[in-house]
Amino acid sequence: MRYFLNTLRTHWWAGVLAGLLAGVALGYVAAHYGLAENAARDHDLGKRLQAELTQRQSDLDAAQVSVDTLQGKLAVEEGTRKSLEATLRATQQDLGRARDQLAFYNQLLPPGPNGSISIRALDVERHGATLHYKVLLMRNAPGDDTFNGYMEFVANGSAGGKSTKIRLEPAMAEGVVPAGGKVNVAKLALDFDQFQRGEGVLSVPPGFVAKTITLNILEGKVVRVSRTVNLLPAY
């Protein structure tokens, strides 16, 4: 009887031990498969996060390019604005000087009768085979009415030992001959309302020595005003 009980106890403990071992084995297998599933899930999550990070970095790079482009445009616009402001200031200063000069000339020579034209200043200088001139014209006329005419330069001097008078033409580029040998009136044309400043170069024929220059202001074929200046001797 005692032997039977001992055998029964041995079998019972063996069954308990076998059950425990089976439970441990099942737990290990379940844990193994659980870990593998978690690892796969973590791998997929990592791939998605990496893809999202790459996309965010791409969006950030594109935004930075846009910011750099806008900053470049703003810098160009700022430079353009400053350049325009500087040009405007310079133009205003030039206009102010022109007004001061006009007021100065007005004080020196008061305007003539209404509608009259006056040669307020005329300067002619020798420059080699040419004459350089500067002229200031004024007109006392109200409203927007303009004067349309042209300038005519006449030189008194000598050629071949004889006194002569010739009409001077605007200087042409070397080798260029005026069409038909006529004066280029377009270069001497006038179109202004109150005042006009002009300057240019006149050609002198070879062998001719000019002594005086007369400027005629013509409207059509009518001489409205004239002025004569003496030339300094050529050295």
222-230 and 208-219: which strand pairing?
antiparallel
Output the pLDDT for position 65.
Answer: 84
pLDDT exceeds 50 at position 173:
yes
pLDDT exceeds 90 at position 134:
yes
Output the pLDDT for position 40.
Answer: 67
Average pLDDT over residues 121-132: 92
Query: What does the buried/exposed string (b/e) look like for 186-198 if buried means 16 or more CB atoms within 10 Å of the residue's CB?
Result: ebbebebeebeee
pLDDT exceeds 70 at position 126:
yes
| pLDDT tier, 178 (very low <50, low <70, confident <90, very high otherwise) | very low
pLDDT exceeds 70 at position 14:
no
| pLDDT tier, 71 (very low <50, low <70, confident <90, very high otherwise) | confident
CATH of domain 112-230: 2.60.40
Average pLDDT over residues 167-190: 65
Query: Tokens in use for 189?
Result: 């044309």
Distance of alpha carbon 66 from the chain centroid: 25
pLDDT exceeds 70 at position 27:
no
Query: Tokens in use for 59?
Result: 């969006």
DSSP helix/strand/coil, 162: strand
Environment class of 121 (CB within 10 Å of its CB; exposed 0-12, middle 13-18, buried 19+): middle
